[in-house]
């Protein structure tokens, strides 16, 4: 059960990926189970801004996707309180053959923006993304950076209770990254909860007040950000 200020309560969470091995010469082969998360238990409270750190393949993306309800755990339980949004990659669901503006309007309705707030919401995304006149071009013609700006602006504009970010703060130019960080700080200031998967120590230190360190699917450390980074440095030296 989630206590009043807890947004995530994770109990003994294990996630396996199932890999099929059936082939012409192996028609009865049993599937392989690859453990991605192994017995994770932790509690995240409202207002916490958490850096999720670990080497490639440590299970960061799997944890975020499982918390969003997109991946089935093999055992354990997650209880969350509030609306969870995951920003992974640069695409919240763009239609490539529509303009940026049309995409914002269509997606906004699908993400629960009220009709009367649509125009204001749309303008705020356009302003934040800095796309200018390009907003009326088809998204197919956007660069990865432009799509990233639009996607990040859109998702953070939704103001969810819990925002999960999977290594997408690297999109765009230096100026945009600064704006993205400021947007996140604003987000935290209105007592929302954020979990950011990142490899950047600078970003983790600047934005986060706590850290989760994963190694080969296991929870190595969960606590203050400085201590988390120290724990991660130890793995890197190993």
Binding site for another protein (CB under 8 A): 2, 7, 15-20, 22, 34, 46, 66-89, 91-93, 95, 97, 106-107, 109-112, 114, 155, 160-161
Which residue stretches of 142-216 are H helix? 144-157, 174-189, 201-207
When the beta carbons of 75 and 206 are compared against another protein, the nearer one is: 75
When the beta carbons of 87 and 188 are compared against another protein, the nearer one is: 87
Take residue 94 and report the two structure tokens written for it: 């763009």
When the beta carbons of 11 and 227 are compared against another protein, the nearer one is: 11
When the beta carbons of 73 and 217 are compared against another protein, the nearer one is: 73
Q: Which of 185, 194, 190 minimizes the C-alpha distance to 48?
A: 194
| Nearest distance, CB of residue 19 and another protein, angstroms | 5
When the beta carbons of 80 and 210 are compared against another protein, the nearer one is: 80
Give CA–CA dist 44/7, Å, rounded: 6
| Nearest distance, CB of residue 45 and another protein, angstroms | 12
Give me the torsion for CA of 125, 127, 128, 132, rounded to 10°. Answer: 100
| Nearest distance, CB of residue 79 and another protein, angstroms | 5
| Nearest distance, CB of residue 43 and another protein, angstroms | 15
**Is residue 169 a contact partner of residue 180, using CB atoms and an 8 Å limit?**
yes
Q: What contacts 230, CB < 8 A, 6 or more positions away?
A: none
| Nearest distance, CB of residue 210 and another protein, angstroms | 19
Give CA–CA dist 101/219, Å, rounded: 42
């Amino acid at each position: 059960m989630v206590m009043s200020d807890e947004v995530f309560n994770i109990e003994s969470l294990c996630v396996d990926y199932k890999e099929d091995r059936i082939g012409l010469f192996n028609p009865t082969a049993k599937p392989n189970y690859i453990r991605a998360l192994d017995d994770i238990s932790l509690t995240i409270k409202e207002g916490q801004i958490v850096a999720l750190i670990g080497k490639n393949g440590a299970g960061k993306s799997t944890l975020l996707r499982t918390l969003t309800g997109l991946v089935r755990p093999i055992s354990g339980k997650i209880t969350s309180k509030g609306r969870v949004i995951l920003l992974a990659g640069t695409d919240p669901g763009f239609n490539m053959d529509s303009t940026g503006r049309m995409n914002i309007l269509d997606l906004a309705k699908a993400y629960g923006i009220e009709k009367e707030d649509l125009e204001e919401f749309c303008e705020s995304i356009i302003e934040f993304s800095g796309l200018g006149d390009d907003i009326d071009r088809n998204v197919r013609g956007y660069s990865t950076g432009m799509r990233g700006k639009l996607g990040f602006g859109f998702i953070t504009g939704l103001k969810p209770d819990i925002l999960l970010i999977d290594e997408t703060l690297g999109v765009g130019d230096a100026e945009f990254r600064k704006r993205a960080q400021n947007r996140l700080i604003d987000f935290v200031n209105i007592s929302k909860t954020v979990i950011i998967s990142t490899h950047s120590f600078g970003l983790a230190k600047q934005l986060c007040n706590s850290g989760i360190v994963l190694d080969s699917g296991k929870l190595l450390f969960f606590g203050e950000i400085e201590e988390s980074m120290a724990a991660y440095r130890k793995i890197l030296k190993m």
